[in-house]
Structure 1
Amino acid sequence: MIDKSSTTPLYLQLVEIILEQIKSGTYNEGEKIPSERELSETFNISRATVRQALSELEKQKDIYKIHGKGNFVSTHKINQDLNGFYSFSDEMIKLGKIPGNKILNLILKEAGNVIAAKLNIHPNDKIFILNRVRLADNEALMYETTYLPQWRFEEILESDIELNGLYNLMKNKYNVSISYAEETFSPCILNENDSLFLNAVPGDCGMTLERYTFEKNSIIEYTKSIVKGNSFKYKVRLNNFI
């Protein structure tokens, strides 16, 4: 409880109380915490003090605000080093998390103009489209759509991807030797479709990732991923400064 005789400012005491409640599981990731009014009444402190505490928690990225709806517990960030090629499953294992794949569908169809341009193939060429949700400890973190040219992956099966993982399958079944990959990142707002698969709220902030994977000079994969909230924190090392 709040100790009004303490030298610690009241708002910082409230910050520590809420952080302890989050840590103990009273409030889980993505869950709404009590309103300013409720916190003010519970701890018998002014709403201005509560507002200051919530502002501090938001600044520390422990909570996030959705205007008109309230404050919610942030997802714990997963540090991602971008200095080398990585796979989602391998990174989750390194972090002590259990990676998961929920494959929604795998279809074969003509590329069409937009995806053909991204894969540098003819619009009438066939491609595999893989839609899946990436999980860590059973929590949905990423909604992902992957486009693969049929010429490089003739008989790819959903069961093989589920059992082996996409990049292991590329390496072991199709003898793919990845030369490099290019990724771009941009902020986005989750739409209803993204939110449905990510167990999030439409209008939440997210991140769009686009990856082009190359084998020599050929693009063998284009993937567009929608990342939930602030699940990831990306790190890049810059060398060769003047």
Structure 2
Amino acid sequence: MAYTPQYVKIKEYIIENIKHGNFKPGEKIPSEKNLGDIFNVSRITATTAIRDLVKEGYVYRIQGKGTFVSEKKIENVRNHNAYGFENNSSLNEDVHETKSVRVIKVGSEFSEKMDLTETEELYEIIRYKLDDGKVNAVEYVYLPLKYYPSLKLREVEIGHIHDLVKDSCFLKQKKAKVYIEPVMLDEEQSEILGLDKEKPVLQLEKTTFSVEDKIIEYSRNIINSDIYKFYMDLDLEA
């Protein structure tokens, strides 16, 4: 069995307590001395764990007051094999509300993005992610009708888009490209999220490809960057 360093055990202990709501956003966590006592290790070991957690965004320190849980929800993008309101993301917590499902023309906006002619048709799905009744993210999903001939979206309970594509598209999904960037809100998104238009938010833009290299799904998630933060672990010894 592989040896787990004590500072890693302390990190895991704090992260699990944050995930399960035992340590809430803005709440002070046990001091480094207390953590040292709990795990029977030196204060230096506990300090190493806290420093890592600060770097990763789970907690923040206030000089002379202690260490507190970050207000943001932390996402390691390397742990995702699906993006958006999916099963391994904190974006999948709380309530998802489908606002609209309709068929639209591809038009000039999606013709180049999805390698389709402007006269072809798309399913458009718009969903909100709500936390205590507040919208923290908006998801826009576009599916080419020609790849989903038997799908009747209004008769389907929309769960994970990844599963919807897998179960309903007659082409097999193979890979996806995801881009994360800051963007400005439009008027409608500003009203939905209750944020000033001048405030940047995060956009996760995903394009899903089939085995035949056809684009079978395009989606955008507009995310309140006050709530979510994304990071990546790099293994420099690999």
- Write out aligned runs for 1:50-199 (5 A): 75-82=71-78, 84-87=80-83, 88-92=85-89, 98-136=93-131, 138-154=133-149, 155-162=151-158, 164-174=159-169, 177-199=172-194
SS in 2 for 1:203: coil
State the match for 1:221 in structure 2.
Answer: 217
> What is the CA–CA distance in structure 2 between the aligned matches of 1:98 and 1:84, rounded to whole Å?
15
> What is the CA–CA distance in structure 2 between the aligned matches of 1:23 and 1:197, rounded to whole Å?
28
SS in 2 for 1:151: helix
Calculate percent identity across the aligned residue pairs: 20
Unaligned runs of 5+ in 1: 1-19, 25-59, 63-73
State the match for 1:234 in structure 2.
Answer: 230
SS in 2 for 1:133: strand
How far off its partner does 1:227 sit?
0.9
RMSD of aligned Cα (Å): 3.4
> What is the CA–CA distance in structure 2 between the aligned matches of 1:203 and 1:75, rounded to whole Å?
21
Amino acid at match of 1:117: E
SS in 2 for 1:116: helix
Unaligned runs of 5+ in 2: 1-23, 29-57, 61-69
Q: Which has the larger radius of gyration?
A: 1
TM-score, normalised relative to structure 2: 0.60
Q: Tell whether the 8 Å contact from 1:129 to 1:148 is kept in structure 2 after alignment.
A: yes
SS in 2 for 1:230: coil
Q: Tell whether the 8 Å contact from 1:85 to 1:181 is kept in structure 2 after alignment.
A: no
> What is the CA–CA distance in structure 2 between the aligned matches of 1:21 and 1:169, rounded to whole Å?
33
> What is the CA–CA distance in structure 1 between the aligned matches of 2:205 and 2:25, rounded to whole Å?
36
TM-score, normalised relative to structure 1: 0.60
> What is the CA–CA distance in structure 1 between the aligned matches of 2:92 and 2:120, rounded to whole Å?
38
> What is the CA–CA distance in structure 2 between the aligned matches of 1:175 and 1:237, rounded to whole Å?
35
How far off its partner does 1:199 sit?
3.1
